[in-house]
Structure 1
Amino acid sequence: MTMTCMKKDNRTHQVSAEDDVSIYHEKQSRELCALHALNNLFQESRTFTQKELDEICNTLSPASYINPHRSMLGLGNYDVNVIILALQHKGFDTMWFDKRRSPSDLELDNIFGFILNIPTDLRLGILHLPVQRKHWVAIRKVNGDFYNLDSKLNRPLLIGNNQQLVAFLKEQIQNKDKELLLVVKHELENDVWRRSAPRSQGIPPKSNYIVNNGQFKESGV
């Protein structure tokens, strides 16, 4: 887990190591990318701990001998239900972005951040196993620009301004296996984060935010 000081490089959209913008960035450890995504989203160390996420797993399935919301080995691999409940504890609601719509429909100023769920290959040493798992990635605006805070990156990756973020999100959700989770403050009305549109064309009701166990899971590979 590292705190990285960065400077934007407009030529490459990479982030250089000069002290200009301070960005908190946790790097990948074991199967804890959901934990890293949450802490990177809040830009603060130990906003959540592995112990707290394990406790949420037990809250979700208190009577389960093998908890379906995390790795049976206790290494992490938390599913989306853990992320959603953890964010609720901090006063935030979550919703899956309806990929039939365009990210340009979003009112970005009313969205706290994003968590991208992407497929990743499972490795055993140098071997690639024929198994795909899911990896959680935080996206957040810091000091006026959006950054990709993927824990697998050596350092945060500059996305840019609102227009550049929309282009980035459009490219990401073109992949049918990638899903985008919106994070908004609890006190906001459901429609504040998006531009006017019939409710039937938008995100499903809140009762549908929690997905079936194991549908979307974190990868620690």
Structure 2
Amino acid sequence: MTTKKEARIYWEKQTLALCGHHSLNALLQGPHVSTQDLQKIADVLDEAERKLGLKDENGPSENVDVNTGNYSLQVLEEALKKTFQLKLTSVFKRTELNEAAKNKAFLLNAHQHWFAIREIRGQWWNLNSQLAAPSKVNGEIVWYLESMIQRGTQVFAVVGALPQAHEIFGQKDGEYGNWIAESECEEMNEIMARAEREGKTVERVKEEMKEEKKRKMIFSGKANTLRGGDSTNNNNDDEKDDDDAIVIDDADIGVDRNEDPELYAAMKASLEEEARKRKKNSKSVGFYGGSKENREASGRGGGQRQEGTTWQSLGKENGNDNNGTMQLEQEPDESPDTLSVAVRLPDGERLKPRRFRKSNSVKDVENWIVSESNAKVTFKSRGGDQCLVLVHFPKRTTLDDPGKTLEQCGFENREMLTFA
């Protein structure tokens, strides 16, 4: 969900053959150049060429196509010079690219189509007006540009001090463009790529992604932001608790009620139902994750930890006397061989992220969770009924083999785990 504070990118969608116009404003990150500005430059260049005898008096302009608005390289160069004293330098080989990349922006021409590539807030972006939205350039920019040159694309380095790429919402939109949140850029490109890949309309894909977002929010446990309301007048305490009003925050629903009232209502109903289930289950599960009867039988009372209970003894109490497998090594320093794991517990509580080695096992993560949660959960590997779930939406992988390493399970650099 986009917020006004989220960093935004200025971008213009292709209109007629105005790619040169679009590429300049995208490169400058703002509507700095107008159609009128470019037409004036083209007229001046045309007049200069007539005076030099390079152009017939009544001949067509070679600096602008009057039907489509396609501008020549000379017009674009002059526009950059007049607005921000920038100049263009042709780049032909890798050795030139290494030096040129320090300038943080390029203007490219592929098959008579102009587009810009610029570094914005530490990330290189392809600002091509023919895309669905600005797209991140992954990998090393020099390799990317070299591959473009090999395919016959003309590459021009932009030399000089570029204007600042603004980060806040509220700047004036241009003739053909507007400001797009970075998260929206990724979403729009994903929609377009999926539509092309699956042979569906963009609108159909948008509807499908809305439904997937709804399911994802439920999977992620966002129904846990609850506020107790007035209870009903019922003598049975359990029934009274069940009838407490459950209120879901609009922020947790993640959909504007005015923008899409039907999806908003469906999301709210689903989250309320999920919240009721969690609340009901939490009453029958004690501090150690077992039933109320088991807690009473074992003499643990209301789930209070016995004096002197240790992390290691907790494992033994849960039928897990495994000669110290509850021990965890010291948290490793950040390195290419480590990754970060965060966990959302069944009751909605989040554990502070911890680093693990990629070679650590699922059991190591389980041990950490048991310790940090004060044994709120009992895993199947310890005779309980709970398993961790790795979510790479829409795929959900149940981590039911405690012996597997995190790398074997498909963990990436940062992961959030939930419960089955």
Scaled to the shorter chain, the TM-score interval is 0.5 to 0.7
Match of 1:158 in 2: 136
Which ranges in structure 1 are unaligned for 5 or more consecutive residues?
Answer: 1-16, 120-133, 187-221
1:180 maps to which of 155, 169, 175: 155
C-alpha deviation, 1:107, in angstroms: 4.8
SS at structure 2 position matched to 1:84: helix
The one of 65, 71, 83 equivalent to 1:71 is 65
- 1:18: how far off? 5.0
Distance 2:100 2:65 in 1: 36
Alpha carbons 1:71, 1:77 under 8 Å: kept: yes
Alpha-carbon distance change, 104 to 138 in structure 1, aligned in 2, over 3 angstroms: closer
Query: Do structure 1's residue 80 and structure 2's residue 73 form an aligned pair?
Result: yes
The one-letter code of the counterpart of 2:65 is S
Q: Structure 1 175/107 Cα, relative in aligned 2: closer, same or farther at 3 Å?
A: closer
RMSD: 2.0
Q: Which residue number in structure 2 is paired with residue 190 of structure 1?
A: none
Give the Cα–Cα distance (whole angstroms) in 1 for the partners of residues 88 and 19 of structure 2: 18
The 3-state SS of whatever aligns with 1:151 is: coil
Contact kept, 8 Å, 1:112 with 1:185, in 2: the verdict is no
Q: 1:80: how far off?
A: 0.5
Number of aligned residue pairs: 149
Amino acid at match of 1:113: A
- Which residue matches 1:105? 98
CA distance in 1, matches of 2:121, 2:137: 12
Q: Scaled by the length of structure 1, what TM-score is found?
A: 0.62
1:42 paired residue number: 28
Tell me the residue number matched to 1:143.
121
Question: Which residues of structure 2 form unaligned runs of 5+?
Answer: 51-56, 162-420
Q: Percent identity?
A: 28
1:116-159 Cα offsets, whole Å, 9 max, x none, are: 1001xxxxxxxxxxxxxx00011111111000000001100101
Q: Would the alpha carbon gap of residues 80 and 59 (structure 1) be closer, same or farther in structure 2, given more than 3 Å must change? A: same
Alpha carbons of structure 1 residues 175 and 102: separation in structure 2 relative to 1, 3 Å:
farther
- Alignment correspondent of 1:29: 15
Q: Which has the higher strand share?
A: 1
Query: Structure 1: how far apart are the matches of 2:108 and 2:72?
Result: 13
SS at match of 2:140: helix
CA distance 1:170–1:103, change in 2 (3 Å)? farther
Give the conservation status (yes or no) of the 8 Å contact 1:141–1:147.
yes
Give the deviation of 1:167 after TM superposition.
Answer: 1.6
Larger radius of gyration: 2
Structure with higher helix content: 2
Question: How many angstroms apart in 1 are the aligned matches of 2:124 and 2:2?
Answer: 18
Residue of structure 1 in register with 2:88 after alignment: 94
Give the Å deviation of 1:183. 0.8
Deviations 1:13-54 (A, max 9, x none): xxxx85643111100011111000000001102x11111111
In structure 2, the partner of 1:203 is: none
SS across alignment from 1:61: helix
List, as ranges, runs of 4+ consecutive aligned residues in structure 1 with deviation greater than 3 Å.
17-21, 100-104
Aligned ranges for residues 50-61 of structure 1 at < 5 Å? 50-61=35-46
Whole-Å separation in 2 of the counterparts to 1:22 and 1:118: 26
Report the AA paired with residue 68 of structure 1: E
